[in-house]
Amino acid sequence: MPDACWYEQMYGSRDATLMDLEPGHEFFLRDTHAPGRGRLLDIGCGTGNFLAAARDTGYEVTGTELDRHAANFAKEKFGLARVFGLTITDFVKKYSADKFDVITFFEVLEHQADPLEFLESVKACLCSRGYIALSVPNRGRWQTGPDMLDYPPNHFLRWSELALNKFLSAGGFEVVSLREQSAGLRYAAQMINTKLRTGLSKRIGGPLPQSFRDVMQMDFEEAEAALQAKPPARQIAMRWLGRAKSWACLPIALGIYPYLRIKRLKGPYLYLLARQRH
């Protein structure tokens, strides 16, 4: 499992960013089966955008975040006093008396090398008959090529609706609601762009700057050097051409959108709300 230093290095560009709510966040906040109030713990809360939104809807919120810089940003920007730069395991050890009505972990479960240990830590600070809510990348999503972000050390697991149901049922939970995101226009454009890769940018621009997919496989020092390196002008130009190509895929995506709806192709997010049986 990557440690705090890895997450701070890899995801550090988001440490001081007001990010939009992710689909999993929005699914939960609109979910009529969710309790709507009570004590809520968000594991992997990032820079606190979801915690702030949950607080505004009536929850009493607490968060944990492995990236300590992101945790500090959440405190300072949103006034979230109870955000801790701890793993969930360390949080349970330090605050064993704290119990929560709802525990959320959006885009977190796929990062766990030991999901059973993670779920036991969640249950240790969940009230009896409490709720959990989560989102993961949908294993059944429409893809036109491999996604290297789905490999260690970034993602250790790939979850489907069936896998989540079996995993949580064995852990003592019953699924209350589940939602699979449909393939939208932006996602369709990304998949078309992936399908139309030709390698032209590399042939014209030379070796391209290391992408996140490459950098995450490096050791700490090598990754730091790659992240700090400034690309030459030709490579910057090729980046802009790549972005133009991505935008050019939008009209194609719009044209095939009715087909995507007919085929019911799935997007990247899988959301689930479950309740502890006892």
Q: Give strand pairing partners of 182.
A: 266
pLDDT at position 12 is 73
DSSP string, 87-114: -HHHHHHHSTT--EEEEEEET-GGG-S-
Are 28 and 131 members of one domain?
Answer: yes
Phi, psi (degrees; rounded to nearest 5) at 66: -65, -35
Q: Which domain holds residue 174?
A: 4-183+266-276
Kindly report the pTM of this predicted structure: 0.88
Are 115 and 213 members of one domain?
Answer: no
Are 12 and 113 members of one domain?
Answer: yes
User: Residue 159 carries which DSSP code?
Assistant: B
Are 15 and 120 members of one domain?
Answer: yes
Do 73 and 111 form a contact (C-beta atoms < 8 A)?
Answer: no
Q: What percent of the chain is modeled with pLDDT above 90?
A: 68
Query: Binning pLDDT at 50, 70 and 90, where does residue 206 land?
Result: low
Residue 24, pLDDT > 90, answer yes
Are 54 and 120 members of one domain?
Answer: yes
Residue 208, pLDDT > 60, answer no
pLDDT at position 211 is 66
Degrees to nearest 5, angle at CA 5 with 239 and 10? 15
Which tops the pLDDT comparison, 68 or 142? 142
Are 130 and 248 members of one domain?
Answer: no
Are 72 and 106 members of one domain?
Answer: yes
| pLDDT, tens digit, 9 for 90 and up, residues 233-269 | 777 777 788 788 888 999 999 999 999 999 999 999 9
Mean of the per-residue pLDDT values for the chain?
89
Domain count, the chain: 2
Nearest to 76 by CA among 48, 42, 43, 39: 48
pLDDT at position 202 is 57
pLDDT at position 17 is 74
Are 77 and 211 members of one domain?
Answer: no
Which tops the pLDDT comparison, 98 or 238? 98
Are 147 and 158 members of one domain?
Answer: yes
CATH code assigned at 73: 3.40.50.150
pLDDT at position 226 is 76
pLDDT at position 136 is 97
Which tops the pLDDT comparison, 122 or 195? 122
pLDDT at position 119 is 97
- CB burial of 158-179 (b: ≥16 within 10 Å; e: otherwise) equals ebebeebbebbeebebeeebeb
| pLDDT, tens digit, 9 for 90 and up, residues 36-90 | 999 999 999 999 999 999 999 999 999 999 888 899 999 999 999 999 999 999 9
Q: 10 Å Cβ neighbour count for 90?
A: 14
Which tops the pLDDT comparison, 239 or 155? 155
Query: Binning pLDDT at 50, 70 and 90, where does residue 199 land?
Result: low
Half-sphere exposure (CA, 13 Å, Cβ side) for 181? 25
Are 146 and 200 members of one domain?
Answer: no
| Start-to-end Cα distance in the chain | 31
pLDDT at position 147 is 84
> Highest-confidence range of 6-15, 146-155, 180-189, 217-226, by mean pLDDT?
180-189
Are 131 and 200 members of one domain?
Answer: no
Are 162 and 206 members of one domain?
Answer: no
Element housing 43 (H / E): strand 38-43
